[in-house]
């Protein structure tokens, strides 16, 4: 649990404990995985084995190998980046904008817009966790036998399209996209031909040529020995993380909160949704609750990071 500002762990408030999901872990992408349609997951058939019952993943170690593989990250990131690409709007000759219709396999990893299609994914994840009832809080509160339905292909496209439009507007990216599009360079192209619009599924391929982007750049690799990922190396940090997520730490954390934050945290631990908490506390919108929860995550990260440093100094 490193103290990196802006990357506080995602928190799940349960009656007797707080569970922290590090944002730099493979597990932190599970919420986005569960929103993928079956048609895209089938591109990595092994991940059809991940159960639609979150309890089986979150409360057992039966699927750790699948989750910790880089292929899991590649599946989630590629699906969202490729879909977001379809909704980027670029300048047209009439002075307006139109959705990007060109196949992204024609562009190299040096093309800034190609990179932006991956960068936007972290904003998707933040929205899932703090502004939608599609968060780890929801997953952990589901019963042992509760099963998540698959989103349809159309539902997924609508979700990503709406989020892409919203995030580009909120982040003020459109002028940047315009500039990138109007000033493309030779190095931005991969050498592909036939830039006409292709069928949505046929356009999907994993042999597209690119350079300059790798999993190493997009996320940290696990420890490997002769090609095998190692899972059972003793890690004092993992021991510490388990220890701090206790009832005593929850009470210590609550003691340092304002009355409002303490109420929000308690209601969340009691299983109330963000909208229900907003109604109970008299907030106009659930987004106010979302902002408080994000702030709580940062405060918790600061608390744990400080104690983690003390722990390392003693070991």
Higher pLDDT, 217 or 265: 265
What pTM was estimated for this model as a whole? 0.73
Residue 206: pLDDT above 80?
no
- Per residue in 122-171, pLDDT (tens digit) is 999 999 998 887 899 889 888 889 999 999 999 999 999 999 999 999 99
Residue range 73-84: mean pLDDT, rounded: 96
- Per residue in 242-276, pLDDT (tens digit) is 333 456 777 778 888 899 999 998 898 888 888 89
φ/ψ bin of 19: left (φ > 0), alpha (ψ from -120 to 50), beta (otherwise): beta
pLDDT of residue 67: 94
φ/ψ bin of 111: left (φ > 0), alpha (ψ from -120 to 50), beta (otherwise): beta
Torsion of CA 300, 303, 307, 309, to 10 degrees: 100
pLDDT of residue 203: 39
Residue 72: pLDDT above 80?
yes
CA distance 301 to 245: 12
Residues 6+ apart with CB under 8 A from 149: 52
* CB distance 209 to 105 below 8 Å: yes
pLDDT of residue 211: 36
Residues 6+ apart with CB under 8 A from 85: 100, 104, 113, 114, 117
For the domain 236-314, what is the CATH code? Answer: 1.10.10
Residue 202 main-chain phi, psi, to 5 deg: -65, -30
Show me where the domains of the chain are located: 25-195, 236-314
């Amino acid at each position: 649990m490193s103290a990196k500002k802006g990357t506080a762990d995602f928190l799940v408030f349960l009656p007797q404990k707080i569970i922290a999901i590090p944002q730099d872990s493979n597990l932190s992408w599970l919420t986005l995985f569960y929103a993928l349609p079956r048609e895209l997951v089938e591109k990595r058939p092994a991940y059809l084995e991940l159960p639609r019952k979150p309890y089986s993943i979150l409360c057992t170690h039966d699927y750790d190998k699948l989750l910790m593989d880089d292929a899991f990250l590649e599946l989630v990131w590629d699906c969202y980046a490729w879909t977001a690409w379809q909704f980027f709007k670029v300048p047209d000759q009439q002075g307006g904008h139109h959705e990007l219709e060109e196949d992204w396999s024609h562009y190299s990893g040096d093309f800034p817009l190609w990179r932006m299609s991956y960068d936007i994914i972290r904003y998707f994840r933040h929205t899932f966790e703090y502004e939608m009832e599609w968060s780890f809080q929801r997953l952990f509160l589901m019963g042992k036998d509760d099963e998540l339905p698959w989103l349809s292909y159309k539902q997924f496209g609508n979700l990503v399209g709406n989020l892409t439009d919203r995030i580009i507007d909120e982040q003020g990216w459109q002028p940047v996209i315009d500039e990138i599009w109007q000033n493309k360079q030779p190095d931005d192209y991969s050498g592909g031909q036939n830039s006409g619009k292709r069928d949505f599924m046929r356009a999907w391929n994993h042999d597209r040529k690119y350079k300059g982007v790798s999993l190493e750049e997009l996320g940290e690799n696990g420890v490997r020995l002769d090609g095998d990922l190692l899972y059972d190396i003793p890690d004092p940090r993992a021991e510490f993380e388990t220890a701090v997520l206790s009832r005593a730490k929850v009470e210590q954390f609550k003691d340092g909160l304002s009355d409002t934050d303490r109420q929000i945290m308690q209601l969340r631990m009691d299983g109330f949704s963000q909208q229900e908490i907003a109604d109970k506390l008299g907030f106009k919108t659930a987004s106010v609750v979302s902002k408080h929860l994000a702030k709580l995550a940062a405060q918790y990260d600061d608390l744990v990071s400080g104690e983690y440093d003390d722990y390392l100094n003693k070991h």
